[in-house]
Amino acid sequence: IHSIPQLTNGQKLKDEGIPGLYGPAAFDLAWTQPMHMALRKLNGILPDTDKNLAAKDLVIKYARDPENASIFNYASMLHNTHFFFDGLNSTGSPVTPSRKLVDEISNSFGSYDDFRIDFLTTANSMFGPGFVWLVRLSEPNMGATQKVFKVLSTYCAGTPYAGAHYRQQPVDMNTQAVRDAVERKLSSEEFRRQHTIQNTVGYAGKHSQQPGRVSKGGVEVTPVLCVSTWEHAYLMKFGVDGKRGYLKEFWHNINWDVVEHRCGFEVERQLSSDWMQRATA
């Protein structure tokens, strides 16, 4: 039987939340209740032969099985939600990215600030629930390969993992109307994010299953950071129209040590005080 994964300082989070991002009641709505619900549903339908599989392994196994879509959905929500919360800073002290991470991010996006804008704009532009990810992958470069970072969106319970490519669900078709974009006063950058790839959520439909397609065009990716855009992640504290404020507070509460560990970096602290102040502004 699966159980809810433990978070660092889990009891403190339940009692105090995360300053600026979650109070205790908001944390309960964003973490405890959804995790208990998904876990209860998953354990109720999971075959005995799969009881010992990790949530991520269940996601990969059932991504191509439409008759067991519920197993995929609940397992993916458990994994994605834990990945999101596990990347938050629960220590109460600011955690900033190392110079090594900043340099690699800058090489991929032009600058650290460009990455921040890219990531948060993508999340704010999502017209529906899901997750936005920072992923690391290898790309060819002058006959060799180099590690680069990309921003990736998944809708609902979609997953970034290449092994579950049928259920990546990268873009919601409901966000594609030009007139709607004008009425919502989206910037050209926000509209571009919603218009590049089209995909209807779910297993059926011409956009939902793309045979032979794996994440990012067939490349294995390593997720290192994600943010939830599900309304229960921000509704209680920030309100129905509060996603932008929620994302701002999320950015101030990222645990960059966890991100660097997921990248395989040794944590380095070589930032100047001027840069640290700018990065957390």
How many other C-beta atoms lie within 10 A of the C-beta of residue 221? Answer: 20
**pLDDT confidence tier of residue 209, bands split at 50, 70 and 90:** very low
Provide the β-strand partners of residue 18: 22
Specify the pLDDT at position 79.
Answer: 97
**Averaged pLDDT of the chain:** 82
126 vs 219, more confident: 126
Q: Is the pLDDT reported for residue 118 higher than 70?
A: yes
State the Cα torsion 9-74-80-239 to the nearest 10°: -80
**pLDDT confidence tier of residue 265, bands split at 50, 70 and 90:** confident
User: Residues near 48 by Cβ (< 8 Å), separated by ≥ 6?
Assistant: none
State the greatest distance between any 2 C-alpha atoms of the chain, in Å, as a whole number.
55
Phi, psi for 216 (deg, rounded to 5): 55, 45
Specify the pLDDT at position 138.
Answer: 86
pLDDT of 25-70, one tens digit each?
A: 999 999 999 999 999 999 999 999 999 999 999 999 998 888 999 9
141 vs 109, more confident: 109
240 vs 219, more confident: 240
Domain covering 10-264+271-279, topology: minor pseudopilin epsh fold (3.55.40)
Q: Is the pTM of this model over 0.75?
A: yes
pLDDT of 247-257, one tens digit each?
A: 999 999 999 99
Give the residue extent of every domain in the chain. Answer: 10-264+271-279
Q: Is the pLDDT reported for residue 87 higher than 50?
A: yes
